[in-house]
């Protein structure tokens, strides 16, 4: 049972345009969501997060949107740069003694930004 899903394995965009990466979840108990960027054979790098009490969070070129009713979140990168080419993972967590320290990850979306 995959609780966090990234249905698009890959995405290709032109440099300077917007990249939109999507993520769906099934567990309504999730209350904290994160996006990570990952290069092969390296650890994930934290990009941006959002709490379930918000619907939007911005940090520079990165904006995360959360739609709780649809159980959907998205990451917008504007403008996209070639250095953004990587695998992007969304992750979710929820508070509770049985859930401490545990992030549940989607399968990842490979973003390619073409010059």
| Interface residue list for another protein (CB under 8 A) | 31-32, 34, 36, 41-46, 49, 51, 89, 91, 93, 97-108
- What does the block give as tokens for 104? 């549940």
Distance CA 91, CA 83 (A): 22
As measured in angstroms, the least distance from the Cβ of 20 to another protein is: 21
> Residue 32 or 62: which CB sits closer to another protein?
32
Query: Could you give phi then psi for residue 41, rounded to 5 degrees?
Result: 60, 20
Helix, strand or coil, per DSSP, at residue 83: helix
> Residue 53 or 115: which CB sits closer to another protein?
53
| 104 close to 91: Cβ distance less than 8 angstroms | yes
The C-alpha angle 34, 1, 97, rounded to 5 degrees, equals 60
As measured in angstroms, the least distance from the Cβ of 27 to another protein is: 14
As measured in angstroms, the least distance from the Cβ of 92 to another protein is: 10
> Residue 25 or 36: which CB sits closer to another protein?
36
List alpha helices for 1-115, DSSP H.
none
> Residue 69 or 98: which CB sits closer to another protein?
98
As measured in angstroms, the least distance from the Cβ of 35 to another protein is: 11
């Amino acid at each position: 049972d995959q609780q966090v899903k990234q249905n698009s394995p890959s995405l290709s965009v032109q440099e300077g345009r917007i990249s939109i990466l999507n993520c769906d979840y099934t567990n309504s108990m999730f209350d904290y969501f994160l996006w990570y960027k990952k290069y092969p054979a390296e650890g994930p790098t934290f990009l941006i997060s959002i709490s379930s009490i918000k619907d939007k969070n911005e940090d520079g070129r990165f904006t995360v949107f959360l739609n709780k009713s649809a159980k959907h979140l998205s990451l917008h990168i504007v403008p996209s740069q070639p250095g953004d080419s990587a695998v992007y993972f969304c992750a979710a967590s929820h508070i509770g003694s049985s859930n401490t320290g545990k992030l549940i990850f989607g399968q990842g979306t490979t973003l390619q930004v073409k010059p």
